[in-house]
Amino acid sequence: MEDGKRRADELDSRFTVRDPPMLKLYNRERSGNCYKVRLMLSLLGLEYEKIPVHREGKGRNILPPEFERLSPLRQIPVLVADGKPYWGTIAILVYLARRYGGERWLPHDPEGEATVTQWLSLAQNEIFSGLGRARSMRAGRWHGYGTLEEAHAVAAIALRVLEARLSASDWLALGRPTIADVACYSYTVFAPEGGISLKPYPAVRAWLGRVQGLPNYLATPVYDGAGGPLVE
């Protein structure tokens, strides 16, 4: 009984929000959403502790019940900042931009904020449902709806929107790097893993290169560029 209680206390301690270190990220390296957060942390030059979250084979994340204290949906990424948990990729990006990035990554004025936010919507909808879903399906890790062909069709919509915008501007919003670029970059750069070629989208490929040229850029866990060499 004593040993069982000790193990339970250790688990509870691991998933209980505490103060130091200042930033903790519950993370899986190959997760596209976790990579968005790691990229943002790197671009901001922030130090943080990574707490690995593993899968059961190609199945769901291995999370104890206590994790609900951090994320009611029991999903990653989760960022713990100053003892407070933030869940949901976009919410975390917004927090980091506001807390550490000043006006650079997410402006405070309504027009600028809306201009950035519309691309966050594309990232979480068409880009994830298309490119992200195709990537997971090809890896045998998708447990949701639809077929690979349907995912490719949605991905084509997202890529056409990106190509049109990036043919007219170096960046997605406001003529400079913002969290819009961070949010949309992740699953776009992983397109080849989903069986999607980026050759028909030269403006998208050029934009990927610009993101990779940003100070403190963090290389992807699988592809360093659109269809580039493996780095994992």
Cβ neighbours of residue 94 under 8 Å, at least 6 residues apart?
106, 179
Mean pLDDT, the chain, integer: 85
Q: What is the pLDDT of residue 153?
A: 97
Q: Which of the following CATH numbers is that of domain 2-100: 1.10.3720.10, 3.40.1280.10, 3.40.50.2020, 3.40.30.10?
A: 3.40.30.10
Beta bridge partners of 223: 230
Instruction: Express each pLDDT in 6-18 by its tens digit.
Output: 443 443 444 433 4
Tell which wins on pLDDT, 51 or 174.
174
Instruction: Say which CATH architecture domain 110-212 belongs to.
Output: Up-down Bundle (1.20)
Half-sphere exposure of 133 (CA within 13 A, CB side): 23
Classify residue 18 as left (phi > 0), alpha (psi -120 to 50) or beta: beta
> What value does the mean pLDDT take over residues 147-174?
97
What single letter denotes the amino acid at residue 217?
A: Y
Q: How far apart are CA 10 and CA 27, in angstroms?
A: 19
Q: How far apart are CA 188 and CA 22, in angstroms?
A: 31
Place of tokens 């709806």: 145
Answer yes or no: is pLDDT of 89 > 50. Answer: yes
Q: What is the pLDDT of residue 141?
A: 73
Instruction: Express each pLDDT in 57-87 by its tens digit.
Output: 556 667 767 777 888 888 899 999 988 999 9
Q: How far apart are CA 151 and CA 148, in angstroms?
A: 5
Domain residue ranges of the chain, discontinuous segments joined by +: 2-100, 110-212
Give the model's confidence band at 221: pLDDT under 50 very low, under 70 low, under 90 confident, else very high. Answer: confident
Instruction: Express each pLDDT in 40-62 by its tens digit.
Output: 999 999 999 998 887 765 566 67
How crowded is residue 171: how many other Cβ atoms within 10 Å of its Cβ? 17
